[in-house]
Amino acid sequence: MHRKRSKLRDKVILITGASSGIGYALAKELSHLGARLVLAARRTDRLSALKHSLGQLSHNVTISKCDVTSTQDLEQTVEEAHQNFGKIDIVIANAAIPMQGEFEQLTLENYRTIFETNIFGVLGTCYAALEDLKQTGGTLVLIGSISSYMSSPGSSAYAMSKFAVRAFAEAARSELARYGIKVVLISPGFIKSEHRLIDNRGVFHPEYKDWAPSFLVMPAEKAARQIARAITRGGREKFITWHGYMSYWVRQYLPWLYFLLVDFFSSRFRPDKS
């Protein structure tokens, strides 16, 4: 704990998608580790409530209304970071949206919508903060998904977007090393969040039943602690949840078993959204 604290204390960290889920939990975890946070999301009411909940730590937090699909919003967020804290040391590109449905049920517009946030939003975040990371020799953290290694029925749009994030991470890791920038890919399995309660129009439905098996869902707070350790260590990739890593392992080394399990579980836990 003390080692983590010493490495992250006073680091300026930008988190996109900080209003819920992993981003929200990371904000709490990193604030308690002494970081100075720039929290970006579209729902500033939630960001304000989050900042208020941090009490005395809130003086090290600034919030920014930001849609990651807007270059102007991202540039403004980085400028607000400069005004409040200085250059950014760590960028956590976390903002993402869900999309469920079989190929025949979705439209090209559905795919474009998710790619705009989950792929181009990540790239836009990286471009906006790149000069800062070059100057600080910082860390770029990309929140991917175990879905970047596998695509089950009804998840093609989301999985495709996360496949792209992983591809970017693998290339950018070598490209940015010349500047002393570390690239860390985080690949979570099922984390407790609102994602599985949001329809394809982006509307949150608290009445939805989370279709993920409850025994596989990790609390966001626990995931945030593991991600904080991964950022400190600066490794290439960190799998979050044991089932996430096991799913990856089975897909890589026992593909015949993987596809049998996909067919079995998808018929029982497939979400039904439109």
Angstrom distance (rounded) from CA 75 to CA 59 = 22
By CB atoms closer than 10 A (0-12, 13-18, 19+), residue 111 is: middle
Q: Which positions ≥6 away from 49 have C-beta within 8 Å?
A: none
**Any idea which residue has 């490495």 for tokens?**
7
Catalytic status, residue 248: no
CA distance 212 to 265: 10
The answer to whether the CB of 151 falls within 8 A of the CB of 180 is no
Q: pLDDT by residue for the chain (274 residues), tens digit each?
A: 444 445 999 999 999 999 999 999 999 999 999 999 999 999 999 999 999 999 999 999 999 999 999 999 999 999 999 999 999 999 999 999 989 889 999 999 999 999 999 999 999 999 999 999 999 999 999 999 999 998 888 889 999 999 999 999 999 999 999 999 999 999 999 888 766 656 676 666 566 676 667 777 899 999 999 999 999 999 999 999 998 899 899 989 998 988 888 777 766 655 554 4
In the chain, what are the domains?
Answer: 2-269 (3.40.50.720)
- Rg from Cα positions in the chain: 18
Tokens of 23: 């981003």
Q: Contact 57/33 with Cβ under 8 angstroms?
A: no
Q: pTM of the full predicted structure?
A: 0.90
Catalytic residue among 24, 149, 158, 248: 158
